[in-house]
């Protein structure tokens, strides 16, 4: 979505360019903490889960392709040469820990539509115990 909005702002609508690019420049935040005294966002999601491009990459290859952690690691090394391997490893470990430990949140989701061919609804395609032990 981010790339489509950026393309639209730059190519299609000059009047909307400044507001759209401003929105894209704002870090994603759950806004659970109030802003700092300087008005800065105090809690940024990417500080916890890693860069979204890595998170999306890991999620796609894990769910859609059924890739193992080691295969995802090798693919990430090839796909993201600008990142240090230690950085890729760190965020891959964070991804798997968070994926397993956050299952309880998916277990209490209300019913909703299935969009696409894969979803994480416990009442749909994804079956995973919410009290899964994390071993990494």
More confident of the two residues 134 and 50: 50
Q: Domains in the chain, please, with CATH?
A: 1-43 (no CATH), 46-136 (1.10.10.1140)
- Number of Cα atoms under 13 Å in the Cβ half of residue 69: 13
Indicate the pTM of the whole model.
0.61
Task: Give the pLDDT confidence of 75-122 residue by residue, as tens digits.
Answer: 999 999 999 999 999 999 999 988 887 766 666 656 566 666 666 665
Residue 41: what pLDDT?
73
Is residue 80 within 8 Å of residue 88, measured between CB atoms?
Answer: yes
Q: Which of 58, 95, 94 is nearest to 75 (CA)?
A: 58
DSSP 8-state assignment for residue 37: T
pLDDT at 112: 60
Q: What local confidence, expressed as pLDDT, does residue 1 receive?
A: 72
């Amino acid at each position: 979505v981010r790339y489509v909005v950026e393309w639209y702002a730059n190519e299609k609508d000059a009047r909307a360019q400044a507001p759209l690019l401003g929105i894209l420049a704002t870090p994603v935040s759950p806004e659970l903490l109030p802003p700092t005294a300087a008005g800065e966002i105090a809690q940024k999601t990417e500080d916890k889960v890693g860069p979204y491009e890595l998170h999306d990459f890991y999620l796609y290859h894990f769910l859609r392709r059924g890739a193992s952690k080691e295969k995802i690691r090798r693919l990430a090394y090839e796909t993201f040469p600008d990142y240090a391997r230690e950085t890729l490893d760190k965020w891959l470990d964070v991804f798997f820990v968070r994926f397993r430990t956050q299952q309880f949140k998916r277990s209490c989701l209300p019913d909703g539509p299935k969009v696409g061919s894969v979803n994480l609804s416990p009442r749909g395609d994804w079956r995973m115990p919410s009290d899964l032990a994390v071993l990494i």
